[in-house]
Amino acid sequence: TPAVVTVGDSFNITLRGASLPVVDASGNDSAKRQRLKILRGDQSCVAAVPSEIAGVGCAETQRVMPASHAGATGVRTRTVYTMCSTRPLMMEDSRVVFGGFQVLSNTQGRSYKVCYCAGQECNHPDSWEEVPGTLAVDRQPYTWLATPPSPLPRVAADGSAAALTLALRRPAFHSYDDPAAWEVKLVHRTLGCGVDMDTTVFTVQGAARAGPDTLEVEVEVALDPWGAGDQ
């Protein structure tokens, strides 16, 4: 649970089963080592967590394995994402709760699956298994288009702060509020919509309605030229 979530809303996932890990007689608490991942339906349980999923952190590692095809010698290397930080919020022998997740966007109406490790050698790919069922997400009605497209230069050609135009759109007749009343903020792609926009980086210079279902927003972007990675 839940079976359906809404884009941008925080949610927990409860897994139910028989004889889930608990503290054993020797004090070994494997229950705290249980882990969970949320992935797109076509991904394997050892794949990277999609960028639109917040609250799940899994580190990339390299698994060195014996060569698998006939007559081969030596080893092969496989990239996996099995070292995950999703510790349980609540643990019982019949259920375990993980939480603090968000789906940040879902313009394509994707559904997701859940993979679970029972707490034994979760760094090993074979310790992960797919949980029956799917996690459906309400389709996101609003879309946006950036000009210029990604990647945005850190500074303009003349050395000034870079400028960005965002066109926000909704499907016709989806709702009837005035686009001029919409508000927009930019945050790092790993964060949810509940955080404040970093006004030292992004400054909204103006916004204007560009039709009955579109708002165009002018943004000045002051990225650190020595900063690392995309925003």
Q: Which residue has the tokens 């639109």?
A: 52
DSSP string, 132-195: EEEEEEPPP--EEEEESPSSPPSB-TTSSBEEEEEEEE--TTS--S-GGG-------TTS-TTS
- The pLDDT assigned to 81 comes to 96
Would you say the C-alpha torsion 61, 136, 170, 10 has a positive or negative sign? Answer: negative
* Rounded-to-integer distance, Cα 118 and Cα 141, Å: 37
User: Residue 104 — pLDDT band, cuts 50, 70, 90?
Assistant: confident
Rounded distance between C-alpha atoms, residue 50 and residue 48, angstroms = 6
SS3 assignment for 40-81: ECCCCCCCCCCCCEECCCEEEEEEEEECCCCCCCCEEEEEEE
Model-level pTM? 0.63
| Residue range 143-183, pLDDT digits in tens | 888 888 767 666 666 667 788 899 998 877 777 889 999 98
Can you give the pLDDT at residue 68? Answer: 61
